[in-house]
Chains A and B, each alone.
Chain A
Amino acid sequence: GDSVTQMEGPVTLSEEAFLTINCTYTATGYPSLFWYVQYPGEGLQLLLKATKADDKGSNKGFEATYRKETTSFHLEKGSVQVSDSAVYFCALSDQGNNRLAFGKGNQVVVIP
């Protein structure tokens, strides 16, 4: 079935550092890809999405490009802030099955 793999472990970095969180996927169809962010004690908020190959999603300085050839959707931000500390989930949705498949999530901690 469809699945999403995120890099293992939390990510700790200093303010203004460059952030990359890797995400790869397995899908039988042509999925849409998403990044969600979860702040402590809250639900998920959509950060960005891409619906077809080579699309780039962007929001709040974050970017991710839908790479069909490498089945990846890595999240990047050039200069993180303390307020970016949260858990980030990569997800995919195949139009055929009408549901989201989530990666395990990555805790990002930004130190002042």
Chain B
Amino acid sequence: GAVVSQHPSWVICKSGTSVKIECRSLDFQATTMFWYRQFPKQSLMLMATSNEGSKATYEQGVEKDKFLINHASLTLSTLTVTSAHPEDSSFYICSARVRGWYGYTFGSGTRLTVV
């Protein structure tokens, strides 16, 4: 149980375009979701925390207008990278806190390459 499905697993886009990444909780309700960014051979950097039905809370230094997060339901959160540039190329991972269980489950990640 407590599975988060993230897709796409990889995407290549042109500079200036927008890309949407989805994370769905398949068998539980995710009241809180976290979005991370991971650079090669580095740890995960928390970008933002989203709670269902409210605005996301962004970490210092993360541009909220560039990384749009929507958590409209208890089973779906999306991250949209707007006007992507090559420096946005990275591995993005979502995570959900499972209601009623003190733990976290992670999506399989999305490799974004902006050319």
Contact = CB atoms under 8 A, between A and B. Distances in A.
Interface string A34-45: 101000011111
B43 A89 contact: yes
A45 B26 CA distance: 16
Interface in A5-23: none
B42 interface: yes
How many of chain B's residues touch chain A, expressed as a range?
A: 20 to 34
Where chain B touches its partner, the secondary structure class is strand
B19 interface: no
Contact of A42 (B49, B102, B108): B108
Contact of B93 (A44, A51, A99): A44
A107 B34 CA distance: 24
A34 B34 CA distance: 17
A104 B106 contact: no
Interface of A: 32, 34, 36, 41-46, 49, 51, 89, 93, 95, 98-100, 102-105, 107
